[in-house]
């Protein structure tokens, strides 16, 4: 059984309290929170105060995805705000090892995110030893309305195979236009955490969640 991680960025903010209650009623255990700085990616989103507010109103695990430049500057703030997992882009870090170590020093799970064009060969052995999550973007980060990039499936398969060889408990997370059709594809490739945004929050949220839960 995979973990469904709704992306709060796609929610209806005027009805956020009701939607959060629906997620919890439907037994959703994890919430994906996209943090964008308008620099590393072209959009802006939330900050630590928003994460703190979420933490005060839910027991769901908060998976905070930092799409920001030099994320080490904000690890402490987001950890203190209540993030459970902090994932950072390989492409945004001057020293990925240093950032991962900072996340762990705050008592949080750490993950690396790869853009569609970034290959697995960038992950040296020290990085595999430091991560609990490997997240693949299946669209370009920070821009809405994109289509699933099928070429990422081979990278997911390769990562899944390598993790089995390592005999380490590393989750494979996918994020970007994961429709029900693409859900089957990414799960078949080896993903076990699936971020879904507009496909959940557009229409009837409860029905959409149920469809994704049944499809997994």
Q: Which residues are catalytic?
A: 34, 175
Phi/psi for 64 (5° steps) reads: -100, 115
Q: What is the separation of C-alpha 129 from the centre of its chain, rounded to a whole number of angstroms?
A: 19
Q: What is the DSSP letter of 71?
A: G
Cβ(186)–Cβ(5) below 8 Å: no
CA dihedral over 68, 74, 80, 84, signed as positive or negative: positive
As given in the structure block, the two tokens for residue 187 are: 């799960």
Q: How far apart are CA 60 and CA 154, in angstroms?
A: 31
């Amino acid at each position: 059984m995979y973990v469904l991680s709704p992306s709060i960025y796609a929610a209806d903010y005027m009805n956020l309290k009701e939607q959060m209650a629906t997620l919890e009623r439907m037994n959703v255990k994890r919430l994906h929170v996209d943090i964008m700085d308008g620099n590393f990616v072209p959009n802006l989103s939330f900050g630590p105060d928003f994460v703190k507010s979420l933490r005060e109103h839910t027991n769901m695990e908060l998976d905070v995805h930092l799409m920001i430049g030099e994320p080490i500057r904000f690890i402490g703030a987001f950890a203190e705000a209540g993030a459970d997992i902090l994932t950072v882009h390989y492409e945004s870090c001057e020293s990925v090892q240093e950032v991962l170590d900072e996340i762990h020093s705050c008592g949080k799970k750490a993950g690396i995110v790869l853009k569609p064009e970034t290959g697995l060969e960038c992950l040296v052995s020290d990085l595999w030893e430091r991560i609990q999550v490997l997240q693949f973007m299946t669209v370009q980060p920070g821009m809405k309305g994109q289509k699933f990039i099928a070429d990422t499936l081979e990278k997911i398969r390769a990562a899944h195979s390598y993790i089995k060889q390592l005999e380490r408990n590393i989750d494979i997370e996918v994020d970007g236009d994961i429709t029900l059709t693409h859900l089957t594809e990414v799960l078949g490739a080896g993903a076990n955490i699936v971020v879904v945004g507009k496909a959940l929050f557009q229409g009837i949220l409860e029905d959409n969640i149920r469809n994704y839960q049944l499809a997994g």
